[in-house]
Structures are given as C-alpha cells and as structure tokens.
Amino acid sequence: MKVWAPVEYTGVAELRGPLIVVQGTRNVGWDEYATIVLESGERRHGLVLDVDRDIAVVQILEGTGGLRIEATRVTFTGSPLHISAGTGWLGRVCNGRGRPLDGGPPIFGDDSVPVAGFPMNPTVREPPAEPVITGVSVIDALTTLVRGQKIAIFAEGGLPYLELAAQVAAQAHTGGAPFNVVFAAMGLTHSDAATVRDILERRSSAAELTLLLNLADDPVIERLLTPRIALTVAEHLAFVLRRHVLVVLADMTSYCEALREVSAARGEIPARRAYPGYLYSDLASIYERCGRIRGRAGSITVLPVLSMPAGDITHPVPDLTGYITEGQILLAREVTSYPHIDPLSSLSRMMRAGVGTGRTRPEHLDLAAQIQAGLSRARQAGELADLVGESALSPIDRRYLAMAEAFRTRLLVQRPDEARTLEETFDRAWDVVSTLPRSELSMLGEEALEAGYRGES
C-alpha cells in the first residue's frame, strides 16, 4: 500500500484539449484519480493517463475550460478511482461521475471498490440462463434477454431507441426474484434526458433503479467513467447482495466519441475512422462485466444501446459491439411503427438457455423459429409481389403475407407505456402463427399445436 501523501502540485506545464500536464510529481501511479483546484476554488477531477519520471499527464473529466497554467493546483489520491458501493445508490439520480443530481446527500456505501473492476475468472462463470422479461412482446418472444448475457440495441438515425431502452428499464423483471436496474445515460440531450427520467420515475421512486445522467452538454470526458460506475454499482448488487441486475448503457456511440477525443488529444495513432486501436478492448472491459458466478444467486445483464452513425452497421462502434455482445436487437426505419424492431436482423444467441419449459413456455423456441421462418418467407413473397403484383402470388404466399401483417399488428406494435405479460405475448404469438395453415407449421410439435393453434386446420 502506498502511503497517502496529500502533496499539492502547482507545476502545470501544459493544457491541451482535455489534458493537463503536471511537472515535478513524485510517486504518482498510472490510472490514479486526481483532484484539480482552480484559483476560484472550483474543484475538478481527473485520471492519470501517463507518468514519465516527474511528469504526469492527467485527463480532466470536466474539461480544461478556464484553467490557467499559473494558478492550478493538482493533488493525487494515491490509487485508481474508487466509489462506495451499496444499496444507497438505489432510487438515486446522479451525474456521470456519480455525484447526486437529485438534491440528496452524497452516497455512502458498505464497500470502497475500484470502478475499473477486476476481470471475472472465466472458470467461475456460470453460463447465462433464465430470462429477463422486458414486457415488450417482440423482444420477449423472439430475442429474449437471458440473465448474465450482453445484448445490444442498434438503432438507425431518428428512431426512438432511448424510449425503448427506458421502457425496457422501467418494465423489466425476473418473475419475482430480486431485481434492480442501473441506467447509465451518456451524451443525452436535455429533452431526451427528461423523457427518460419521466419513464423511469416510478421505478426510481420505488428504489429499484439507479440513474446516472451525463448530458450532451456535460463534460465529454466524464462519460468515460459513467458506464464503469454503473457496472461497479451493479456488481455489488449482483454478486454481494445476490440480486438480478439489468444495466442499460445508452448511448455507447457518445461514449466512444469521448474515447476518440481523448485519444486524439494524446496524439495516438488512429485506427478505423480515427477511433483508437484499443476500442475493442475498451468496450470489452465494459460489456464483459456481465455474467453470473457459479454458486451465487445474482446476475448482471448488460444492454448497450447505440445509434448507428448514418445507419451503418459496419461503423466501428456497432461492429465492435456486435463482436462482443451475444446478439443484437436492430431498430430499422423500414419498420414504421414503434418499437421499430426488425425481427429478421435481430438475434439473441443465448436465447436457447433462457427460454423453454420452466422458464417461459415449452414451445417458446419452436414458436420463435416458426415466426422467424414465416417472416423470412413473407419477405421473399413481398419482394416477388413488388415485381409481379400480389395477385400473381400463389395462395400460400399470400397467406404468408397475411401472417407478416398479423405479426405487425398483433405482436410488434406496442405502446411505449404498455407492459405485456408473458401470457399476453404468447397469446398474440399464437394468433400470428395461426394465420397460416396448420400444415405449414413444421417447426412446432403436435402437442404444442394441439394446445395453441387456433386457425382452421
């Protein structure tokens, strides 16, 4: 343990972008947390990015605006940033650095833990299992969230992806098992933030949710801490207090832009689209904090939410996110009604482990596969109809088009404030497949059809 010495340094050599270069430092460690005091007495905070003998490069979370070389004092805390974790975070609204925004007292907790976290030993991981029910039919039916997994929401421009993320955060549950939500908002506009707060209000006042809010005009660099604080809070809830926790991280594209900004200020060699070469590892250090531990009850499910710049799924942020997450839920503009989820481009790779007998419904996987296959066939039929006209289609192709329409009206379309039970979702899903002749439902077993099919045979 290093001896904590509150030495105040005044030797500021350089201010550039979000960076401050301090001279004459002694025993300052890499990634240490620093406090910067301006001549007005204002305090700002920073992280050490590089230490070279007696020179420390610090990134200032609140930005360098107004700092003067002559009258700035810097102290180092002697260790990387820690927060106190505990149930005190529930029901609170804080800024991107974890300082209260709700007028309440600072948050004190049971344990002081580093926000960078420690990597989970892969051999103690329990593979994800059991569902998180979101109350959004199309997600629960086709791309079920599984406890301990990470699955991303990708959105094309202009779509209400934050509303959907907030709706999931407000409605999600684990069927009675203790459940909490940590919502980390990064780079949200004031109006978006107001909408999100509004949607989450009830859950927050029930002390089931923590909201970390970094706004679009808040310091950009602060965003680099926001998801880490959220996950540190979640890890304590999940693995010490053994609850199921859903962590929503929105919008990760804003986070990555902050990372790029720091990287550029440091003069690092840029990789794709000027994002730093370590973007993959950095994102992984966040997303990989999901999981379950063998022999412990809790779980962390991570839901990164991001807007795809120019709707491009090969952009580095969605691309690298897709490489790390176990599936994605894609919001497409061609799906014209809320929640805009394109079922054919969405996938939950862990779904097999989360659904079925004793979890959701015995026929869940087959029913989902049947709907996917039907929609895929309907899309082909639709393309053909565009060429030759719908009247030229075979009768069975027309049935598939009718099935796609039933899917849209019965299952997909849902109000942003509407929470559907699993029963209701399955009821609607059976309505959808029942628009097809029974002979077409090759993926569903006899027993399931006997119980669920309600079309004319």
Partner 1 sequence: MGTVSRVNGPLVEVEDLIGAAMFELVLLGPHRLPGEIVTLRDGHATVQAYEYTGGLAPGDPADRGGSPVSALLGPHLLGGVYDGLLRPLTDAGPWLNPAAPTPASAARPWRFTPLVEQGRTAAPGTAIGRVEDASSPAYLVLSPGGEVSAIRQAGHYPHDAVIAVVGGTEVRLTRRQPVRLALPYLSRLEGTVPLTTGQRVIDLLLPVCLGGTAAVPGGFGTGKTVLLQQIAKWCDADVVIYIGCGERGNEMADVVAELAELSDPRTGGRLSDRTVVIANTSNMPMMAREASIYTGVTVAEHFRDMGYAAVVIADSTSRWAEARREFASRSGILPAEEGYPADLASALAAFYERAGRVITLGGATGSVTIVGAVSPPGGDLTEPVTAQTERFVRTLWALDRDLAYARHYPAISWRDSFSRDADALTHGAPENAARRARVGGLLAEADRLTALAELVGAGALPARERIGLLAGRLLREGFLRQSSLSTLDAYCPPERTALIADALLTILARCQDLIEHGVPVASVEDRDFSPILRAKESPQEEILARRDTVLDDLETLR
Residues making contact with partner 1 (CB under 8 A): 2, 26-32, 49-54, 79-80, 114, 116-128, 148-149, 239, 268-272, 277-278, 280-281, 284-285, 288-291, 293, 314-316, 319-320, 322-324, 326, 347, 350
Closest approach, Cβ 357 to partner 1, in A, equals 17
Closest approach, Cβ 414 to partner 1, in A, equals 26
Nearer to partner 1, 11 or 117 (CB): 117
Nearer to partner 1, 314 or 457 (CB): 314
Alpha helices for 13-104 (secondary structure H): none
Closest approach, Cβ 86 to partner 1, in A, equals 18
Closest approach, Cβ 41 to partner 1, in A, equals 28
Identify residue 318 by its one-letter amino acid code.
P
Nearer to partner 1, 95 or 345 (CB): 345
Closest approach, Cβ 149 to partner 1, in A, equals 7
The residue assigned the tokens 């014209």 is: 336
Distance CA 430, CA 193 (A): 37
Closest approach, Cβ 116 to partner 1, in A, equals 6
Nearer to partner 1, 17 or 80 (CB): 80
Nearer to partner 1, 30 or 207 (CB): 30
Nearer to partner 1, 32 or 251 (CB): 32
Distance CA 226, CA 358 (A): 36
Closest approach, Cβ 433 to partner 1, in A, equals 18
Nearer to partner 1, 81 or 200 (CB): 81
Count the Cβ atoms, other than its own, within 10 Å of residue 332: 18
Write out the H or E segment, with its range, that includes residue 19.
Answer: strand 19-22
Q: Which residues pair with 12 in a beta bridge?
A: 22
Half-sphere exposure of 348 (CA within 13 A, CB side): 33
Compute and round to an integer the Cα radius of gyration of the chain: 25
Please give the C-alpha separations between residue 382 and each of 132, 401, 408, in angstroms, as whole numbers. 34, 7, 14
| Alpha-carbon torsion angle 126, 129, 135, 139, nearest 10 | 100
Closest approach, Cβ 311 to partner 1, in A, equals 14
Nearer to partner 1, 182 or 350 (CB): 350
Q: In this structure, what DSSP letter does residue 119 have? A: P
Do residues 160 and 333 make contact, with C-beta atoms less than 8 angstroms apart? Answer: no
Helix 279-287 × helix 252-265 angle, to 10°:
140
Please give the C-alpha separations between residue 85 and each of 198, 228, 241, 286, in angstroms, as whole numbers. 25, 12, 11, 17
359: three-class secondary structure by DSSP: coil
